[in-house]
């Protein structure tokens, strides 16, 4: 049965299913930066629209915390709830969210990091989003922060 989805959307969906399998996740949701669901894989056991909206807000809080503390850009946020873990990560112009067993939090994060470039590229291709000028490689990865000096810049 032929699909009416564009080929790039099929690519995005395939990447999400790869991430789900690699991480042992229950579900994966990718959303726009403002919380609109772009695609899902599996069953995150939470309404995808609700998860996407809260994930976008949570990532914004993480970014503000990083800005105010001089920590640099957010790589991933991990939230543990007893038997469940939720891992949020910026993926280019989007937000990726994995839900899985709490014991697998590290595997969830690692799977997102390993698939980051492919996921960001697929989102850009499907939705026509250009790489941000503040990224270092054109893959929507934040530029590497300078090595720590041991003191906060304002401490001097």
Averaged pLDDT, groups of 10, the chain, 156 residues long: 53 92 93 91 94 93 94 92 93 88 92 90 78 40 36 42
pLDDT of the residue at 8: 59
pLDDT for res 60: 92
Q: What is the pLDDT at residue 129?
A: 61
Check residue 130 and give its pLDDT.
56
Residue among 28, 32, 35 at smallest CA distance from 49: 35
Distance CA 76, CA 62 (A): 9
pLDDT for res 153 = 44
pLDDT in the model for residue 65: 94
């Amino acid at each position: 049965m032929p699909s009416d989805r564009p080929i790039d959307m099929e690519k995005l969906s395939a990447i999400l299913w790869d991430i789900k399998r690699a991480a042992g996740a229950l579900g994966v949701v990718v959303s726009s930066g403002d919380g609109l669901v772009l695609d899902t894989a599996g069953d995150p056991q939470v309404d995808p629209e609700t998860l996407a909206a809260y994930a976008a807000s949570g990532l914004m809080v993480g970014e503000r915390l990083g800005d105010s503390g001089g920590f640099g850009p957010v790589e991933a946020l991990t939230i543990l709830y007893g038997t469940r873990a939720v891992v949020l990560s910026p993926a280019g112009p989007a937000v990726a969210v994995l839900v899985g067993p709490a014991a697998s939090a590290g595997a969830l994060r690692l799977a997102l990091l390993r698939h980051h470039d492919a996921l960001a590229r697929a989102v850009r291709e499907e939705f026509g989003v250009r790489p941000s000028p503040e990224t270092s490689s054109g893959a929507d990865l934040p530029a590497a922060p300078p090595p720590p000096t041991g003191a906060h810049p304002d401490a001097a």
